[in-house]
Amino acid sequence: MSFKEEAYYQFILEKISNKIGEIKANELDVNINLIEHGILDSLDFISMLMELETKFGLDLDFEDVDPTTFTSISGLCLLIAGEVNATS
């Protein structure tokens, strides 16, 4: 995981920790679908995405992405890293 991906991961984990608690968040499988498993609801997820964009100065484009790809911690980190690399 690159430094940027680690920063995204830590930010996402912090948001999840605020919702379900730090211990549970640290035990999560990074590949689990956060919405399907009730960890975040759709509003929580959208809010987190908006905060990610603001904090890291991103403009994420989800138009051509399969939603199941980015609803996990690992998928979201990779998607964001890919967006950043594509615009760099």
- Note down pLDDT in tens along the chain; length 88 residues: 667 778 899 999 999 999 999 999 999 999 999 999 999 998 998 899 999 999 989 888 777 777 778 899 988 888 888 766 555 5
Any idea which residue has 């905060």 for tokens?
Answer: 51
Find, among 39, 43, 23, the residue nearest to 31 by Cα: 39
Q: What is the DSSP string of the chain?
A: --HHHHHHHHHHHHHHHHHH-HHHHHTS-TTS-TTTTTSS-HHHHHHHHHHHHHHHT-----TTS-GGGSSSHHHHHHHHHHHHHHH-
Tell me the pTM.
Answer: 0.83
Class for the domain spanning 3-87: mainly alpha
